[in-house]
Amino acid sequence: MLSLLLLACSAEIDVIDACPLATNTWLETPDGAAIALHHHPGRGPAVLLVHGIASNHRFWDLDSQHSLARWLVDRGYDAWLLDLRGHGLARRDADGMPQLSGWTVDDYGRHDVAAAVEHVQRVTGQHRLAYVGHSMGGMVGGIYAALGGAENLSAMVLVGSPGTFERDAPLVGLAAAGFKAGGASLWWFETPVAAEAAAALGPLTPGRLQERIYNTENVSGETERKLLGAIVSPMFREEMQHFGRMIEHERFESADGERDWLAELGGVTVPTLGIAGSRDEIGRPEWVRAFVEAMGGPRTFTLVSGYGHVDLGLGERASDDVFPHIGAWLDRYATP
Burial of 273 (0-12, 13-18, 19+ CB in 10 A): buried
Look at residue 177 in the predicted model and tell me its pLDDT.
67
Residue 35, strand partner residues: 27
Dump pLDDT digits (tens) for 7-35: 333 333 344 566 667 899 999 999 999 99
3-state secondary structure of 149: helix
Confidence of residue 139 (pLDDT cuts 50, 70, 90): very high
Dump pLDDT digits (tens) for 185-240: 343 334 333 444 444 434 434 445 677 789 999 999 999 989 988 998 888 889 98
Q: Which of 330, 219, 221, 203 is nearest to 277 (CA)?
A: 219
CA 308 to chain CA centroid, nearest Å: 15
* pLDDT tops 80 at residue 168: no
Where residue 291 sits, what CATH number does that domain have?
3.40.50.1820
Burial of 98 (0-12, 13-18, 19+ CB in 10 A): exposed
DSSP 68: H
Q: Is the pTM of this model over 0.85?
A: yes
What's the domain range around 284? 2-333
Q: Which of 219, 232, 187 is nearest to 317 (CA)?
A: 219
How many structural domains compose the chain? 1
Mean model confidence pLDDT for the chain:
86
Look at residue 7 in the predicted model and tell me its pLDDT.
39
